[in-house]
Amino acid sequence: MNKDLEEKYLSVIEDNVNVGNSNAVVEFFILIAGIVGIFVLLYIFADSIGCFFIDRMSNKTQMQIENAFSFMINKNMYETTSNTKQLETIRDKIIPLDKRLQGKSKFPIYEISGKEINAFVLPNGTIFFTQGLLKEVKDEEILTFVLAHELGHYAHRDHLKSISRQIIIGFITSIFMSQNNNINLTIESIADLNGLSYSRKQELEADLFANKIVYKLYGNNDGAVEFFQMLKEKEKFPEFLQYFSTHPSTQKRLDAIKN
């Protein structure tokens, strides 16, 4: 064999044209960014459709949907206590202040066990306070703020909006689903993370709603500021983790209601 041919073979071995020279990690991040981008667009699309119809929905349709979603809730499971009686008097003060709360649910209030400081509202307007919250907080202004926050979610129809979004996104992600379980997991996690940012927006709006109510009732929002300062002392998460959380960081909420 002559030398030239040998050198040619060697160069073929060294310069491989069959393997792409792109970096797999770069490719990975580009693909993930592409999926995130698609889901951001999807959420904007789903939310605009959902909000368009839900904001124009009549109260009667709202009640029908709520009843359809809450047939599982057993009303006899929870008892009223002295704490909830106090909350009920506050509730009766709040409801006449906003048109969107009238003529709908009766907003029953119950207490559930749990050490964490939390309160939430079900699709049919039933409001739950944890024992941890009721133990920590005795001040009426703060309780008004928390209750008004939950009623704010109801007034903004956040429960119906999140249901409509879940249906649209669930339908579209099911098309994306491949046979590989881990790809599905990635897509679902990205969908969840994007959903959280929308939920943080809803929380801030509910805060502002509650802030307005507190101003109308007491003329100041000292109670709410005090409440968030108390929460800030209790929480241990650093602020940058807020992208993974359903609620905005306490500092942000504090800034929002101060202005």
Partner 1 sequence: MEDIIFLLILLGVTYATGTIIEKRHFESIKKREIALIKKPIINFGAKTWNTNKKIKKIELVTGECVISGDYFKNFVAGLKNLFGGRLTTFESVLDRGRREAVLRMREKAKGANFIINTRIESIMINDNYTKESVPQCAIIAYGTAVTYE
Tell me the closest approach of the beta carbon of residue 30 to partner 1, in angstroms. Answer: 9
Work out how close the CB of 34 gets to partner 1 at its nearest, in angstroms, rounded to a whole number: 6
Query: Shortest approach of partner 1 to residue 188 CB, angstroms?
Result: 9
Q: How far is the CB of 191 from partner 1 (least distance, A)?
A: 12
Burial letters 178-188, b for 16+ CB under 10 A, else e: eeeeeeeeebe
CB 259 within 8 A of CB 175: no
The nearer residue to partner 1, 19 or 72, going by C-beta atoms, is: 19
Phi, psi angle pair for 146, to nearest 5°: -65, -45
CB 44 within 8 A of CB 159: no
Task: Decide if 202 contacts 79 (C-beta within 8 A).
Answer: no
State which residue, 30 or 44, has the beta carbon closest to partner 1: 30
Partner residues linked to 128 by β-bridges:
110, 120
Least distance from C-beta 43 to partner 1, angstroms? 17
Give min distance, CB of 32 to partner 1, in A. 7
Binding site for partner 1 (CB under 8 A): 1, 6, 9-10, 13-14, 16, 18-20, 22, 24-25, 27-28, 31-32, 34-35, 176, 178-183, 185-186, 189, 244
Indicate the residue among 24 and 77 with the shorter CB distance to partner 1: 24
Question: Of 82 and 180, which has the nearer Cβ to partner 1?
Answer: 180
Q: For partner 1, which is the closer residue by CB, 219 or 238? A: 238
Q: Which residues contact 36 (CB under 8 A, 6 or more apart)?
A: 190, 194
Q: Which is nearer to partner 1, 25 or 77 (CB)?
A: 25
Kindly report each contact of residues 66-71 with a partner whose C-beta sits within 8 Å and lies 24 or more positions away, as own/partner: 66/105, 66/123, 66/124, 66/125, 66/159, 66/160, 67/124, 69/123, 69/124, 69/163, 70/122, 70/123, 70/124, 70/126
φ and ψ at residue 127, rounded to 5 degrees: -110, 135
